[in-house]
Amino acid sequence: MMKWIYELFESDIKSITSLSGGNVSQVFKVVTTSDVFVVKCNYEKNAEVYFKAEVNGLHQIKATNTIETPAIHSYGKIENNAYLILEWIPTKNADQEAMHTLGIQLSQLHSTTETTYFGAKEHNFIGNLPQNNTINPSWSTFYALQRLYPQLGIARKLGYLLKEEIPNLDNIQKVMTTIADNTKPSLLHGDLWHGNILIHENGTPYLIDPSVYYGHNEMDLAMTKLFGGFSNNFYQGYHENIPPHKNQNALTEVYQLYYLLVHLNMFGNSYRSKAVELLKRYFL
């Protein structure tokens, strides 16, 4: 594997270091005589499609001029190995000021949307699972059809959920229409856990590994609360520009259900009990 990485760079490579945090791909820090890079590698058959979707997402976020993303150097395939080469971001631990700035900038990202639909013109991935972004004018319908139902179907097929634990589609839509009324589309990162933010040494926040589409802004906020790592300063900064939805507590749980189902389907039964609890609370 190391051999073909050397073929990607014109400058001589001084070192290659494996990095943690890659659930889907292997990630390396590559130091050359001229610069430092992140190289993501994946050997799956359709892995180049993963990276194309990631590149598209990074471009979309970058184009809003709200939050920084790493520069994209190149991506492609060599010796049946898909790769993506990104700018290396020297980081520091997130302090209160940086998290406040991130909150403000995320609210700006969510405020720049000019579309009237939910979804995206291209499908992408959440983790290594396909994420269907078929456009829909109704957020309630989109969330039911393109978010919950595909993951519920996978969970049923894999044996993680029983037939009686799968809610009726109409009921999901009715509940969503009630609690997520007057929803406007925002460009979402789509997988905003703390592992997908970086704080540059100079204090600038960066977003990585997006799964972008147009959806309810509370989706991104719900994900930030699922595994923690986001301080009160972050939420204070965010809500300076966008107030909490009147049903934010319920929406947080309903939107976390999507991510819990994704984790159930990727990592197994440790996520089952919480997912079933939320299914029963809201939809069964």
Q: Among 40-49, 65-74, 98-107, 127-136, which is the least confidently predicted range?
A: 40-49
φ and ψ of 148, to 5 deg? -70, -50
* pLDDT of the residue at 23: 67
In whole angstroms, what is the distance from residue 169 CA to residue 141 CA?
A: 9
pLDDT at 21 exceeding the cut of 70: no
- Tokens for 100, please give them: 């406040």
Mean of the per-residue pLDDT values of the chain: 94
pLDDT at 148: 98
- Residue at 191: amino acid letter: D
pLDDT reported for residue 250? 98
Whose tokens are 């970086």? That residue is 198
- Band of pLDDT at residue 8, cut at 50, 70 and 90: confident
pLDDT band of residue 31 (cuts 50, 70, 90) is: very high
Q: pLDDT tens, 74-110?
A: 999 887 889 999 999 999 999 999 999 999 999 999 9
Residue 22, pLDDT > 80, answer no
Amino acid at 264: L
User: Which residue do the tokens 């190391």 mark?
Assistant: 2
Is residue 38 a contact partner of residue 19, using CB atoms and an 8 Å limit? yes
Domain range list for the chain: 2-87, 96-282
From the options 3.50.50.60, 3.30.365.10, 1.10.620.20, 3.30.200.20, give the CATH code of 2-87: 3.30.200.20
Tokens of 162: 């029983």
pLDDT, mean of residues 219-239: 96
Helix (H) / strand (E) containing 234: helix 232-239
Which pLDDT score is estimated for 7?
A: 83
Locus of tokens 């080469």: 85
For 167-215, write each residue's pLDDT tens digit: 999 999 999 999 998 899 999 999 999 999 999 999 999 999 999 999 9
Residues 117 and 135: beta-carbon distance below 8 Å? yes
Q: Global pTM?
A: 0.94
Check if 2-87 and 96-282 are the same fold.
no
Asked if 211 contacts 50 with a C-beta cutoff of 8 angstroms, the reply is no
Counting residues of the chain whose pLDDT is more than 70, the rounded percentage is 98
Quick check: 76 and 64 in contact, CB under 8 A? no
pLDDT score recorded for residue 9: 83
Sign for the pseudo-dihedral over CA of 89, 94, 97, 101: positive
Active-site residue among 12, 95, 191, 220? 191
Active site residue 191: yes
pLDDT digits (tens, 9 = 90+) for 155-165: 999 999 999 99
* pLDDT (0 to 100) of residue 46: 80
- What CATH number labels 96-282? 3.90.1200.10
Does residue 256 sit in helix, strand or coil?
A: helix
Predicted confidence (pLDDT) at residue 1 exceeds the cutoff of 60: no
Whether the Cβ atoms of residue 265 and residue 126 lie closer than 8 Å to each other: no
Position 10 pLDDT exceeds 80: no
